[in-house]
Structure 1
């Protein structure tokens, strides 16, 4: 009989709180994309990397039965830079949809099931090459769902900072704050760092 596989523990909040901070991208390495021209420039830069960190943000809903018309933001990141796409402008939205539907590129992130549904509904495309990083950790023997904070703690022995205030902010706002840009970009940036570390492990 084969031995039962050992299930690996995920660090708890208290253990993560004691770790040194994960170095996030600063505003100098984050590009806000809101027009078709900016989106095409971003696409050209992203095409040079084989894999991207991927996430979306939607304006939160607070009333029972209220439906979100998100995503309002799409984040894609390489190891060097992150692009935060605002999806108000039709030309920008069209390029964002093309990027998500593009085969041959890995789009890695956490908790992407809801993102996928909203992308299909809003952008009319089926995202290609999507890799749910939590599934990789489960396959490798971790016993609990792994989010970005747990993954950064396990792989880098560092603490990933996420602002609750930014998380629940209005992502549909035409003018995003610096805090929103940093929050959104670094979710995608951390995902590509985790993907690269898992690919090398």
Structure 2
């Protein structure tokens, strides 16, 4: 019996060659990406907690960045999100709830802060919603998909593809958590892990691309 050939592994980025974005079948063959556990995730819902998070984040020159909004299911219904803003370093993630005006104000200050890169995937809609809800234009936002485009990946590169390319690992995203109620005052552990790791993976990708050295 002839042995099956090993699965084709995605290639690392190149600034000159053109590469195919890994598909879901390729990614499904990979070992899971190591995610942050709840011991490295901090929920932030008060101004005092936000102040502590701001002090911790100040030590980093780049953050993984993402947002979550309560999904809309009725045609024509507009979201009043984001309801969650996630920021992460290589060690820790902070999940900010935006119910409290004081907490919202501190998140707005963080996102408007110049000199710090906020890196993530699919951030176009996030930026518009943040401007509408928080009244600030996020500064230093880096769409990581654009970086992969510059390095020869023609298709859209989301977090799953990026993790496969750079770490040869499969990034796990819960569909149930993705479509859950992010406006709920009490978030579940599944929601916290989902939200935090989207930002954490973006931080890992940013540093693996060597962008921190060139920033």
TM-score by length of 2: 0.90
State the distance in 1 between where 2:62 and 2:102 align. Answer: 24
Deviation at residue 154 of structure 1 after TM alignment: 0.2
Match of 1:170 among 181, 186, 198: 181
Spell out the pairing of 1:1-201 with structure 2 (5 A cutoff): 6-199=17-210
State the distance in 2 between where 1:144 and 1:112 align. Answer: 16
State the distance in 2 between where 1:172 and 1:123 align. Answer: 15
- What secondary structure is seen at the aligned counterpart in 1 of 2:94? strand
Deviation at residue 177 of structure 1 after TM alignment: 0.1
8 Å Cα contact 2:72/2:79 also seen in 1 = yes
Listed one character per residue, the Cα deviations across residues 123-146 of structure 1 (whole Å, up to 9, x for unaligned) are 000000000000000000001010
4+ runs deviating over 6 angstroms: none
- What secondary structure is seen at the aligned counterpart in 2 of 1:108? strand
Q: Structure 2: 5+ residue runs without aligned partners?
A: 1-15
TM-score by length of 1: 0.97
State the distance in 2 between where 1:199 and 1:117 align. Answer: 28
State the distance in 1 between where 2:93 and 2:39 align. Answer: 10
State the distance in 2 between where 1:75 and 1:199 align. Answer: 22
Deviation at residue 6 of structure 1 after TM alignment: 3.7
Aligned-CA RMSD value? 1.0
- What secondary structure is seen at the aligned counterpart in 1 of 2:105? helix
Q: Structure 1: 5+ residue runs without aligned partners?
A: none
8 Å Cα contact 2:17/2:151 also seen in 1 = no
